[in-house]
Amino acid sequence: MPLSENATPTTPPDDAAAASAPARSWRVPVVVETPQHSGLTSPLDYLAPTALPPGTLVRVPLGRRTVLGVVWDTPAAGPDALPDVQLKPVAEVLDGLPPLPAEWRQLVGFAAGYYQRALGEMALMVLPPELRQLDATQWGRREKRLHKAVARHDDSVATAERPPLTPQQADALDALAEPGSPKPFLLWGSTGSGKTEVYLRQAERALEAGQQVLMMVPEINLTPQLEARVAARFADRRIVSLHSGLTPAQRLRNWLMAHYGHADLVLGTRLAVFTPLPRLGLIVVDEEHDPSYKQQDGARYSARDLAVYRGHLHKVPVILGSATPSLESWFNALPLAEGGTGRYRRLAMPARVGDGNMPTVRVLDLSRAPKPARGDSAPPLARELLSAITERVERGEQSLVLLNRRGYAPVLQCGDCGWKSGCPHCSAWRVFHKVDRTLRCHHCGFTERVPRACPDCGNQDIAPVGRGTERLEEQLAEALPGARLGRIDADVTKHKGALEAQLASVHAGEVDVLVGTQMVAKGHDFRRITLVAAVNPDAALFASDFRAAERQFALLLQAAGRAGRDAGVAGHSEMWVQTWHPMHPLYQALRCYDYADFARQQLKEREMAGLPPYASLAMLRAEGRTQEAAQAFLLEAARLVQDHAGEAVRLYPPVPTPVQRVANVERAQMMIESPQRLALQRFLAAAQSVWLAQAQQHRRSGLIRWAVDVDPLAI
DNA sequence: AGCACGCCGACT
DNA sequence: GTCGGCGTGCTC
């Protein structure tokens, strides 16, 4: 439905309402935060003394409280849906705040519809949390302070030099400058090819045209780095960041700067995709393949997909950048003639800036390595790898060793009776953390001190099984005497400032060997690393999740990109992969950095299996007191909507989730698949109301909650 | 989700 | 006698 920008009253003075309310009143639809299961999915009607244009922020009474709401375009449900409700008046209007623009409302409306969430939930969720707290008086004070801050802006700083463009960057920028209604661009550039420079040059064009730029990165960790670079380039521009790491006041302030049009560049994580931007001229999604762009709880939206929709809405270019695009984006950037959809335009930048080559890949066959000494339960580190690291240490170069598992060992086991360190509340093992001698469940957080002896049989001999980053660090310290070790993982970085401190010591050359989980592989720029090693990459090869290989390939390639960024050392930099399956196609493609070939293999498999991007998926998830309760809900959910499904939509049998029980809640899921996205959408919309009513019934028999995940990342 | 109302056990 | 446990129900 087309949305009107003008401020005509949504509904003319209503006789019935006017009769029961003071003088003449307008009836306005307002969206408020009403969760899905409340059954109130459309806007609620209120009375206002004057016409309020759509997008106006108001405070309205809801039950016994007063909540923030947004005036909406569409009148609330048809007249019959509101029988004898006595309409209440709008309590306050947040004056001075420009109405949220039509494009914003349309984006939110689309997201709510597509991801099957209540409109109000979606709308309120993407507003700064602080805004929800303020009444009109408090808002007035904030607004005054903000205007003072705007006046204080200092734009007298010098702007950094622009580096010369590589031919490939120049070509990409030429393509971006071509006139005409733009398709989204997939900027496919290898790590170090200078994608950021392309973003900055294109941003410059938008800024010069008086437009605003939205740049997104997958993780908070990466915003300071990008912000520094953007600030150096556009010192005379106002730049704000938006992510969940800001204080509520900062977040509100930055959001307002964007909404008022004062901020020229907005840098942020996925939530930034909803920032109202009156002069939007460019959207950049860096590392577009990164799973962090998909929200993993509540309204499970994909910020990358919404960015594409938003670009279309505002008719502005969208750049999706990656060295290893998601298969969805790759497929969209393949021309029709090559079996893709041709919806995106691909811009390739295969070469690294400054003649740096990608490191040589060395796939090390563990089955041919000498067996570890008997009685040593730690998984092996190949001797060749250790000597390659030793050489680096001696030369004063740095190495990065990746292991995607934190803690000391994923499980403890009793050598006598076979007891294992299970979590009493989850169907998962508790991880042994040697640093503080605890057993910690990574799912529910349940933590205990490590028992002295086996809780079952009293045996003193309980041993760690497997290896996490703590143990790897210990192993490397033993094997490389004299080497200075560092570690970066979620346990280290949960202390404020620890990541920055650790990165600084790596940059200062105080660390020879850095151990880390995937978080170090992402985006951090290390100049002196000449060896990157993945010591246990095989797990992903046999995971049940069909996207595991895609993720692993991206991670390994991204990790390889950490090495040899300086041309001086690039010549002898190496990427090591120690594996039991050296011939696996994933490693073969990695050897020659052939993403295109890897994508071709994967797409073929997906097509044969009827999986994305050749099909659309949704997951109906249920949580219950018992596994039976969760599955019973899903079974009946399937039965009730069987007729709606028809030919085009297929419902799979309910199954327990990969981790079946978390914090004593049993979880099950049911996959829903269709070759046509639209058919799936229509089905879900129809099914939603059926399931809503059904869920009420099942609450008594042990259903706790349920939700639909559209385009799930993990299955 | 909040935040009520509502009807049964251990405390000032 | 009240404080408070969380079961059920409503919000324009």
Task: Map residue A231 onto helix, strand or coil.
Answer: helix
How high is the pLDDT of residue A345? Answer: 97
Residues 6+ apart with CB under 8 A from A305: A711
Q: Indicate if CB(A64) is under 7 A from strand B.
A: yes
Greatest distance between any 2 Cα atoms in chain A: 90
pLDDT of A149 above 60: yes
Is nucleic acid strand C under 7 Å from A570's C-beta? no
Tell me: pLDDT of A372 over 80: no
A476-518 confidence digits (pLDDT tens): 999 999 999 999 999 988 887 888 888 889 999 999 999 999 8
Strand B contacted by A153 CB (< 7 A) = no
A66 touches strand B (CB under 7 A): no
Strand B neighbours among A 164-223, CB < 7 A: none
Residue A159 is predicted with a pLDDT of 78
ω before A613 within 30° of 0 (cis)? yes
Give A37-88 as a DSSP string. Answer: GGS--SPEEEEESS---TT-EEEEEETTEEEEEEE-SSPSS-GGG-SS--PP
A430-480 tens-digit pLDDT = 999 999 999 999 988 888 999 999 999 999 989 999 999 999 999 999 999
The DSSP call for residue A497 is T
Helix (H, G, I), strand (E, B) or coil at A504: helix
Q: What's the CATH architecture for A8-151?
A: 3-Layer(aba) Sandwich (3.40)
Give the DSSP letter string of A551-617.
HHHHHHHHHHTTS--SHHHHTT-EEEEEES-TT-HHHHHHHTT-HHHHHHHHHHHHHHHT-TTSSEE
Q: Which helix (H) or strand (E) holds A682?
A: helix A677-699
pLDDT level of residue A1 (50, 70, 90 thresholds): very low
Predicted local confidence at residue A15, as pLDDT? 44
Question: In Å, how far from its chain's centre is CA A664?
Answer: 27
For helices A102-114 and A677-699, what crossing angle results, to 10°? 70
CB-based contacts of A436, cutoff 8 Å, min separation 6:
none
Q: Give the pLDDT band of residue A526 (cuts 50, 70, 90).
A: confident
CB of A528 closer than 8 Å to CB of A413 = no
Which part of chain A has CATH 3.30.70.360? 616-710
The pLDDT value recorded for residue A280 is: 98
Q: What is the CA A32 to C1' B8 distance in angstroms? A: 36
- Contact, A82 CB vs strand C, < 7 Å: yes
- Indicate the average pLDDT of chain A: 89
Q: How many CB atoms lie within 10 A of CB A374?
A: 5
According to CATH, what is the number of the domain A356-406+468-606? 3.40.50.300
Question: Could you tell me the distance in Å between the CA of residue A326 and the C1' of nucleotide B1?
Answer: 35
Highest mean pLDDT among A39-48, A161-170, A373-382: A161-170
d(CA A405, CA A383): 22
Does residue A324 register a pLDDT over 50?
yes
So what's the pLDDT on residue A24? 67
Question: In the 8-state DSSP scheme, what is residue A11?
Answer: S
CA distance A120 to A132: 13
pLDDT of residue A625: 86
- Spatial distance from the CA of A124 to the C1' of C9 (Å): 24
Which pLDDT score, from 0 to 100, does residue A146 have? 86
Tell which residue, A195, A192, A270, has the closest CA to residue A557.
A192
Percentage of chain A exceeding pLDDT 70: 92
Predicted local distance difference test score (pLDDT) of residue A461: 87
> Could you give phi then psi for residue A31, rounded to 5 degrees?
-95, 135
Residue A126 to residue A226: CA distance in whole angstroms:
23
| CATH number for the domain formed by residue range(s) A616-710 | 3.30.70.360
Helices A303-314 + A102-114 axis angle, to 10: 140
The CATH number of the structural domain formed by A167-354 is 3.40.50.300
Q: Is the pLDDT of residue A9 over 60?
A: no
C-beta of residue A34 within 8 angstroms of C-beta of residue A75: no
Q: Does residue A294 register a pLDDT over 70? A: yes
Per-residue flag: A44 CB under 7 A of strand C: yes
For A329, the token pair is 């984006």
Side-chain-facing half-sphere of A593: CA atoms under 13 Å? 19
pLDDT level of residue A161 (50, 70, 90 thresholds):
confident
The percent of residues above 90 in pLDDT, for chain A, comes to 68
Confidence of residue A22 (pLDDT cuts 50, 70, 90): very low
Whole-number distance in Å between A214 CA and C1 C1': 64
Per-residue pLDDT reduced to its tens digit, A88-98: 999 999 988 99
Cβ neighbours for A121, distance < 8 A, ≥ 6 positions apart: A33, A34, A35, A36, A112, A298, A299
The per-residue pLDDT for A128 is: 94
- The answer to whether A175 touches A345, Cβ cutoff 8 Å, is yes
Give residue-wise pLDDT tens across range A536-577.
Answer: 999 888 888 999 999 999 999 999 988 877 756 667 899 999
What are the CA-CA distances from residue A386 to residues A460, A467, A476, A521, A706 (Å)? 33, 17, 8, 20, 49
Going by the annotation, the residues of the binding site of A are 414, 417, 423, 426, 441, 444, 454, 457
The alpha carbon of residue A686 and the mean position of all alpha carbons in its chain are separated, in whole angstroms, by 28
